[in-house]
Structure 1
Amino acid sequence: MHIIVVGLNYRTAPVEVRERFTFAEQDLPAALQQLKQTKSILEGVIVATCNRTELYAVVDRHHLCGHYIRSFMEKWFALPRQQFTNHLYMYEDDQAIEHLFRVASGLDSMVIGETQILGQVKEAFLTAQKEKATGTLFNMLFKQAITMAKRAHSETSIGEAAVSVSYAAVELGKRIFGNFAKKTVMIIGAGKMSELTGKHLSSNGAERVIVANRTLERAVELADKLGGTPCTMEEAIARLHEADVVISSTGASKYVLLREQVAAAMQRRKSRPLFMIDIAMPRDLDPAIAAVDNVFLYNIDDLEGIVGSNLEQRRRESLKIETMIAIELESFRSWYKTLGVIPLIRALQTKAETIHSETMDSLEKKLPGLDEHEMKVIRKLTKSIVNQMMSDPILRIKEMAGEKHAGEAMDMFVKLFALEQSIEDGRETAQAASKPSQVKEPQAAAESASVQMPAGIAAATP
């Protein structure tokens, strides 16, 4: 098996390409079902944000895995692969695992160290888990990545400097106006990004906030939090001339503001500048708006590098997180190596329990005069002897699983304890349990193949 990630992000693809590869929240369950039914894919998670679309997968074929995932993308987005292959990156095994750790902790974000991505990775994992698209490997890996990312933010000061996409939008506005005193801000959309941006604008002196949303109830809810005024989208277009700053972040599939609507509003502003920033994906604001006089239009790609003064501090802190990632990667390797010995240990324990049970049955027949208390004491003591006898062999085989000749050690372990039949019985039981399902079950597939080591991880074994 191999762990891989295929994706594109703000470094490899401009916004006009990325917006064609977004997954609407309501479409993710269907996408995950289609992904896990793709040939050779045993487990899958889709991480889709405004700055990246990444498909994580556990696959059983090393050489064709990228081809199968590109085929999935080609079918899902109805685009020929020639239009997007050059924008894709693919990491395998150790590199894929390290990439996930970097993404979850914010080290791979446009604004280094931002925390929003952690919640997005967690939500992506939980969605995949709910859709039964994850199994043994990803259940462990994503939980470890999420836990590590939380620890990275609590044990370093990487998040102390106020830097995020929403904060970068505010900093960009300051370059136009100097400050937001006596300025009216219109926020289009009532999601998390809109709320964060609104809070930054309010704390930076915005005098009036107008919150527009397709659903008025959501606009009222956010307006109450920000001390602003709610309105519908139709009302927002009519009041556009009142705004000095427009921040748009909706989940709309089409532009919510067009060039002619902005041009009409600007005629009523008497040459006063209008600052507009589009932090939605796909974009909310018609790019042609930039041609309107005295309108300053920016999209999410324009935010990169805006808050450089705080980024330097974050880069220093990121070195600490890089060390944490290296430790976590080694921890995952160690855990993975033990998967190969789990069937062996289970077989030994099952055999020991059978011998113990048969011995106690024989003892009870040979010594019928023993009362219930005496049998309980004997059963407890003999069970303790069995467990102590197994303790060192189990510990040693776990240790040897990470060594160079792990395969030979496991073979010898099986022969020494005569576990061939027990292992075969366990394999047949697992196969029989999986027969009724025609669709690949990631959990069963991962566990049945767990004695194999991904090439990238195996190569790192000393």
Structure 2
Amino acid sequence: MHIIALSLNYKQASVEDREKVTFQDSEVVEALHALRDQKSVLEATLLSTCNRTELYVVSDQEHTGAYYTRKFLADWFGVDYERIKNMTELKVQDDAVRHLFNVTAGLDSIVLGETQILGQIRDAFLRAQEEHTTGTIFNKLFKEAITVAKRGHSETDISKNAVSMSYAAVELAKRIFQNVKESKVLVIGAGEMAEESLLNLTSNGIEDLVVINRSIEKAEKLSQKFNGRADSLANLEKELKSADIVISSTSSTDFVIDKEMMDRVNETRNGSPLILIDIAMPRDIDPAIESCDNVYMYNVDDLQGLVDSNLETREQEAEKIKAMIDGSTAEFEDWLQVQGVVPVIQAMRKKALQIHSDTFESLERKLPEMSERERTVVSKHMKSIINQMLRDPIIFTKEIAGDKNRDDKLEDIQAMFHIEEEVKAQRLEADQKQRQKLRARKEELRLNW
């Protein structure tokens, strides 16, 4: 079995490209089943957020599974296959497992060590599990990824320090306002910095959010992702009158908030404090505003020291989590390799029990005078003999799970015990059970739709 991770994220793809390859909540269930139905795909999980789209599959053929996973993404969004190939990152086996662990722990996020992705991964897995598009391998893998991420965040200080301008801006606001959750926050701009700011704000429980942008359409699109409200730049002065915190990150070459605007706004605020955090370059907020009463301004230079010192701290803490991930990856690979030999061991045991049953029935026919106690004693000793005979072959079979010649040796074992058909039956039974669950779920969805 091959584990494949196909990732389209902020490292490989622009905002425009990510927008084109983002699943809406309403289509995720349908997409999950479509992905699971691709050739060579046996299990499937799908994650789609504002910063990344991730497809995870278990496939019986590495190259075929990788091709059809990419093709699914290209076909679903009507994007050229080669373009999907260029804008995505493909990882298999150990690398795919480690990638999932890193993503879940927030080590692959824009904000190093952020925790929101952990909840998103958990929700994506639970949805796939509910839809029966996961099986033995992903049920184990995703639970392990979630466990490692939780352990990493609880046993290190990675979540405690700001590491980006937008994150530092939010951390600064938290230090100034005792109850920042009740604050009204204006986010000016609709680019990546604005989106990252909103991510950090919502992660801290802030709900009163207004996205302001020259393009109201872009403002609305971004605000909807975070359950906020949108307004146009033309209404900025009105929104400033009731705001507590402003984070500005536009690409404007002129001041978005100038001294004259702030003077007019201040006349209506009755002395209420206003925090202005300018993370744009060039600056969005007129430096002359510093002279305004009850207005507190911070820019990139003010935040840089906080970011630099805390990034080093987070990177040190991230190394601790990476060590945990290395250990968990190795443990999962050991478990996965053993899964490949399980049907062989089950077939050996099943055949041995059948031999026991047939032999005991023959013995009962030849010795009908046996008492119930004698039958019990004889049956128990026969089982003991069989278990002792199987002990070494089973141990040997388990030990070759990680052998590079595992498949050849497993074939030899099957031929030696003459259990080829039994092994096929074991694998077929497991596959049929999974397919029955899928068919039942699809029928349920069909009736609901």
TM-score (structure 1 length as normaliser): 0.68
Q: Render the CA deviation track for 1:6-62: whole Å, top value 9, x for unaligned.
A: 222222334344344333333221221222223343322112233222111223444
Relative to structure 1, the CA distance from residue 347 to residue 30 in structure 2 (aligned partners, 3 Å threshold; closer, same or farther) is same
Checking the alignment, whether the CA contact within 8 Å between 1:59 and 1:65 is kept in structure 2 is: yes
Partner residue in 1 for 2:232: 258
Following superposition, the deviation at residue 277 of structure 1 comes to 5.9
Q: Aligned with 1:90: secondary structure?
A: strand
CA 372–157 in structure 1, closer or farther in 2 if over 3 Å, else same: farther
- 1:258, 1:289 within 8 Å by CA — same for their partners in 2? no
Q: Tell me, yes or no, if the aligned pair for 1:167 and 1:197 is still in contact at 8 Å.
A: no
TM-fit CA distance, 1:333: 2.2
3-state DSSP of counterpart to 2:402: coil
Does the residue aligned with 1:113 lie in a helix, a strand or coil?
Answer: coil
Which of 261, 266, 276 is residue 247 of structure 2 equivalent to? 276
Aligned Cα RMSD in Å? 4.4
Deviation at 1:396, TM superposition (A): 1.1
Inter-partner Cα distance in structure 2 for 1:334 and 1:81? 34
Deviation digits for residues 93-141 of structure 1 (CA, Å, limit 9, x no counterpart): 2211111111112221222222222222111111111112222322222
Q: Could you tell me how far apart the structure 2 residues matched to 1:394 and 1:60 are?
A: 25
Q: Greater shift after overlay, 66-75 or 43-52?
A: 66-75
CA-CA distance at 1:314 after TM superposition: 2.3
Query: Is residue 355 of structure 1 aligned with residue 355 of structure 2?
Result: yes
Stretches of structure 1 that go unaligned for 5 or more consecutive residues are 200-210, 214-232, 238-247, 279-285, 442-462
1:186 aligned to 184, 187, 203, which one? 184
After TM superposition, give the deviation of residue 212 of structure 1 in Å.
4.3
Shift of 1:195: 5.2
* SS of equivalent residue, structure 2 residue 183: strand
* 1:113 matched residue in structure 2: 113
What TM-score, normalized to structure 2? 0.70
Secondary structure at the aligned position of 1:57 is classed as: strand
| 1:292 match | 256
Q: 1:166 to 1:440 in 2, by over 3 A?
A: farther
Partner of 2:55: 55
| Contact preservation (8 Å) 1:112, 1:314 | yes
Could you tell me which residue of structure 2 aligns to residue 205 of structure 1?
none
What corresponds to 1:208 in structure 2? none
Corresponding position: 1:25 with 2:32: no
8 Å CA contact 1:344–1:423 kept in 2: the answer is yes
The code of the aligned residue for 1:261 comes to: N
Higher RCO, Cα 8 Å, sep 6+? 1
Seen in structure 2, the aligned counterparts of structure 1 residues 125 and 305 have a Cα distance that, compared at 3 Å, is: farther
SS at match of 2:111: coil
SS in 2 for 1:154: helix
User: Residue 256 of structure 1: SS of its match in structure 2?
Assistant: strand
Relative to its length, the structure with more helix (as a share) is 2
Q: Kindly tell me: are residues 182 and 122 of structure 1, through their superposed partners in 2, closer, same or farther at Cα, counting changes over 3 Å?
A: closer
Structure 2 counterparts to residues 166-245 of structure 1, below 5 A: 167-171=167-171, 179-180=176-177, 185-187=183-185, 196-198=203-205, 212=208
SS at match of 1:42: strand
- Partner of residue 77, structure 1: 77
Partner Cα distance (1:254, 1:195) in 2: 10
Q: Is the 8 A contact 1:42 1:60 kept in 2?
A: yes
Q: 2:304 and 2:49 mapped to 1: Cα distance? A: 16
Number of aligned residues: 383
- 1:426 Cα deviation (Å)? 4.6
Per-residue deviation, 1:427: 6.0
Q: CA deviation at 1:261?
A: 2.6
Matched, 1:92 2:92: yes
Give 1:166 deviation, angstroms.
8.2
Name the SS of the counterpart of 1:50 in structure 2: coil
How do 1:245-394 residues align onto structure 2 when only pairs under 5 Å count? 250-251=224-225, 256-265=230-239, 275-276=246-247, 292-294=256-258, 307-394=307-394
**Equivalence for 2:2:** 2
Cα distance in structure 1, aligned partners of 2:186 and 2:96: 36
Gap change, CA 1:321 and 1:434, over 3 Å in 2: closer
CA distance in 1, matches of 2:438, 2:173: 56
Distance 1:79 1:253 in 2: 29
Partner amino acid, structure 2, of 1:275: V
Note the alpha carbon deviations across 1:200-238, whole angstroms, 9 max, x for none: xxxxxxxxxxx548xxxxxxxxxxxxxxxxxxx9xx99x
Q: Which amino acid aligns with 1:185?
A: S
Structure 2, unaligned stretches of length 5 or more? 188-197, 213-221, 259-275, 281-299, 442-449
Q: Identity of aligned pairs, percent?
A: 40
- Please tell me whether the aligned partners of residues 290 and 297 of structure 1 are also in contact (alpha carbons under 8 angstroms): no
Distance 2:386 2:178 in 1: 77
The CA distance in 2 between the partners of 1:11 and 1:305, in whole Å, is 25
